[in-house]
């Protein structure tokens, strides 16, 4: 069920960019079938937005909910921890079976220990930065992470507009990081913004409202996939 870290990294490294549905915008009263729906439409990953009411002015769910769904799905589970003190709950997210765990640099200014704990726990380690945080602050940690999450909205809510500044910030990360680092973009990703994100270097595109609020999710996923593929093969795209 829970592939070990090197297998998972290999799997995430060796294929094309991915669309990662964010469960924040799904119907929580049908959580299992909403996850299954992402799989039916072609997703390999679901993105769990964990909000603690302190780091962001909103609450969502925690490790108990994720743990209860873990045996129900083969998809990769990514936990985006929008939490002031992620270290307090890290064991819970590892035990819940999260495959990728992303913490925020704004919450943990020296994340060395936590990143190591995530990797030692068998998950991939992600580090996220909000739009106002100077992107250069990621530099000291680039060799300690598997995934860099460049936020394209202020975290806390779905359905916001894409911040174009994220494009330059992703290019900055791409130029300074090793090729296998996964660059993820999160917030306001939709048909209008996804191709530019891919051309700027994004490999994981988190899509919440554009997917879960679509009338025909399979068609939406297919359309987004096509735009991703066009972005990959166009000039300026990631190699």
Closest contact distance (angstroms) between CB of 192 and ligand 5RP is: 12
The binder of 188, among ligand 5RP, Fe ion, none, by C-beta within 5 to 8 A per type, is ligand 5RP
156 annotated ligand-binding residue: yes
Which 159-188 residues touch ligand 5RP, going by CB under 6 A? 159-160, 186-188
Residue whose C-beta lies closest to Fe ion = 80
Q: Which is nearer to Fe ion, 157 or 230 (CB)?
A: 157
Asked if 91 is an active-site residue, the reply is no
Asked if 186 is an active-site residue, the reply is yes
Cα distance between residue 42 and residue 216, in whole Å? 13
Among 5, 18, 80, 104, binds Fe ion (CB under 5 A): 80
Closest contact distance (angstroms) between CB of 59 and ligand 5RP is: 12
Among 133, 209, 223, 229, binds ligand 5RP (CB under 6 A): 209
- Which listed range, 158-166, 174-182, 194-202, 221-229, lies at the site for ligand 5RP (CB under 6 A)? 158-166
Q: Judged by CB under 5 A, does residue 78 bind Fe ion?
A: no
163 annotated ligand-binding residue: no
Catalytic residues: 49, 186
Binding residues for Fe ion, rule: CB under 5 A, are 49, 80, 186
């Amino acid at each position: 069920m829970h592939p070990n870290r090197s297998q998972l990294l290999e799997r995430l490294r060796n294929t094309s960019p991915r669309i990662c549905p964010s469960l924040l915008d799904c119907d929580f009263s049908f959580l299992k079938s909403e996850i299954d729906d992402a799989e039916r439409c072609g997703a390999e990953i679901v993105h769990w937005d964990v909000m603690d009411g302190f780091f962001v002015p909103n609450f969502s769910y925690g490790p108990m909910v994720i743990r209860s769904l873990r045996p129900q799905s083969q998809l990769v589970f990514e936990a985006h921890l929008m939490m002031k003190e992620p270290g307090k709950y890290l064991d819970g997210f590892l035990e819940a079976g999260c495959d990728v765990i992303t913490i925020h640099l704004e919450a943990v200014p020296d994340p060395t220990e936590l990143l190591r704990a995530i990797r030692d726990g068998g998950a991939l380690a992600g580090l996220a930065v909000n739009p106002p945080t100077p992107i250069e602050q990621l530099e000291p940690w680039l060799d300690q992470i598997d995934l860099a999450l460049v936020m394209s909205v202020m975290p806390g809510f779905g359905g916001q507009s894409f911040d174009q500044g994220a494009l330059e910030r992703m290019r900055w990360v791409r130029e300074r990081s090793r090729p296998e680092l996964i660059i993820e973009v999160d917030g306001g990703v939709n048909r209008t913004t996804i191709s530019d994100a891919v051309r700027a270097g994004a490999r994981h595109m988190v899509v919440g409202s554009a997917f879960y609020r679509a009338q025909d999710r399979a068609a939406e996923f297919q359309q987004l996939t096509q735009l991703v593929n066009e972005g990959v093969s166009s000039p300026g795209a990631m190699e």
